[in-house]
Structure 1
Amino acid sequence: MIHSVPKNKIEQVIVKYADMIFRIAYQNLKSKADAEDIFQEVCVTLLTKNPPLDDEKHLKYWLIRVTINKCNNFHKSFWHNKIESIDKYTELEQPQTKAVMEEIWQLPKQYRNVIYLYYYEDYSIAEIARIMDKSQNTISSQLQRARKRLGKILSEGGL
């Protein structure tokens, strides 16, 4: 059921957070097409659920959580396990950015999400803990482990 939220308010939310939603999905799925599908699913969820539209901070948390959950569900799907990504064969515009992102993609999912939220969305450890529904100590440990792994991978790769 679609709620009676003003259409222009939904459009404003989608325009404002489209890039963030897509980047989180792309970072999790490593596929532009799959990230676009997740983006559409998040938009449908935004229309069918009743998120906190009047509170920017909670709305952003809600969108991040929904996006991550949709990505997690996608990873579990039969379809995902049976197809090969076409994005493996496409190139990013900047070779060094591509190399770093490929190394980030090699990290376990919980580390990828923490790295993304901390460095690309500028969330604090406390905010990430609330978004991910984990303790601050857990997030701090995951961030430390992710940095260590990524640093080792990048130094071995010559970046």
Structure 2
Amino acid sequence: MDTTSQPSERLELLLLTHGNTLYRAAAAILGDVYEAQDAVQDTFLAWLEKQPDCPDGAHERAWLLRVTVNNCKSRLRSPWRRKTGALTESLTTEGPEESALMEAIQTLPAKDRIVLHLHYYEGYQTGEIAQMLGWREGTVRSRLSRARKRLKTLLTDQID
């Protein structure tokens, strides 16, 4: 990617290239479209401040996702967040099965939602997720395993 362009041009290219991915990750973690938009906006502001030197698009995407995840984690720790509820109806889904899946995912703890989204929706391996989140790889694997079990239990309870 051309790093000699103006920061505003570079930012526009980053928004077009990675904006939807970052938004989907933030929405999956936070469960609120407006907070997700704010978290992504904060990510791009951080990029403008730091303008990290990423040799290729994969490192750039990983940097942006890591900052987005950290922004989401900060928002989840916020004291005022405990007083608000998730807006699951604002998350777009394709059908009733996917809608039920999204509702079940939103009931999981945030740490489980983070690893599920990064692994299944973004396609990262456990080692890459561990590096992004600053966790051990075994922690990511156990979180994924627990999240799958919880999700399976939630979905089978809905069917019964």
Q: TM-score, normalised by structure 1?
A: 0.85
C-alpha contact 2:104 2:155 (8 A) present in aligned 1: yes
Q: Aligned residue for 2:102?
A: 101
Alignment gaps of 5+ in structure 2:
none
Q: Deviations over 1:80-116 (max 9, x none)?
A: 334455x356574533222111111111111111110
Q: Aligned residue for 2:71?
A: 70
Distance in 2 (CA, whole Å) between partners of 1:54 and 1:101 is 35
Tell me the CA shift for residue 75 of structure 1: 2.0
Distance in 1 (CA, whole Å) between partners of 2:102 and 2:89 is 15
Distance in 1 (CA, whole Å) between partners of 2:30 and 2:153 is 23
SS at match of 1:51: coil
Point out 4+ residue stretches in structure 1 off by more than 6 angstroms.
Answer: none
Equivalences, count: 155
Q: Percent identity?
A: 32
1:10-159 alignment to 2 at 5 Å? 10-84=11-85, 87=87, 90=90, 92-93=92-93, 94-158=95-159
Q: TM-score, normalised by structure 2?
A: 0.85
Distance in 2 (CA, whole Å) between partners of 1:91 and 1:121 is 17
Rate the CA distance shift 1:104–1:65 in 2: closer, same or farther, 3 A. same
Alignment gaps of 5+ in structure 1:
none
What RMSD in Å do the two structures reach over aligned CA positions? 2.2
